[in-house]
Amino acid sequence: MAHQGISSKLLDEAVQEISRLPGIGKKSALRIVLYLLKQDINTVNKLGQSIIKMRNEIVFCAECHNISDKNICNICADSNRDKSQVCVVENIRDVMAIENTMQYKGVYHVLGGIISPMDGIGPSDLRLDTLVHKVSTGFVKEVIIALSTTMEGDTTSFYLYRKLSPFTIKITTPARGLSIGDELEFADEVTLGRSLINRTLFESR
């Protein structure tokens, strides 16, 4: 059934689909669709094709689980990065936030979430086995647990600490420059950069 005031079924379907995106309501979706209608058809086709190509061809790095165009992402493939230093983060947005600080020269491990019983997410739902395997090789010297300072983030951090404690590595965490409840992606670059530089041993938290 077409949205009230919309005389085109095609336009209505486009509005419905765009309004499914996070943070976009029906009014915003309608403005976007009307804007696209005013654009050159080649411009709109290019936009649509880029989204389809991204969804179909993007992969996850075999080493760190970051998004990548190839089997190994650009960060892991960079010979200038310190592979003995692994920063554990919740998601891809956190990688982007830390990279924007330009203060970190190691590599990453993306868990793909955090432990949250309320949401039905347990340790088995995270990419923990590959992290433990990575550390077990003996090449990793430091693991930085850089998860959000929420209850769920702290729970996951302590779980990780227990899993990694048997190995002879340094386990650190960003300094408490971030407020309780902060998520990395929303921290300003200066604060996040300083918290990484001034990281502390996990036990001393």
Domain boundaries defined on the chain: 9-57, 80-204
Query: Looking at the domain that runs over 80-204, which CATH code has it been given?
Result: 3.40.1360.10
| pLDDT tens string 42-61 | 999 999 999 999 999 999 99
**Is it the case that residue 64 has pLDDT exceeding 60?**
yes
* DSSP per position, 105-159: -EEEEE-SS--BGGGTB-GGGSS-HHHHHHHHTS---EEEE---SSHHHHHHHHH
**pLDDT (tens digit per residue) in 181-204:** 345 555 566 667 767 776 778 864
Percent of the chain with pLDDT over 90: 66
Q: Tell me, what's the pLDDT at 3?
A: 53
- pLDDT attached to residue 85: 96
Q: What is the pLDDT of residue 163?
A: 92
Domain 9-57 falls under CATH 1.10.8.420? yes
pLDDT higher than 50, residue 95: yes
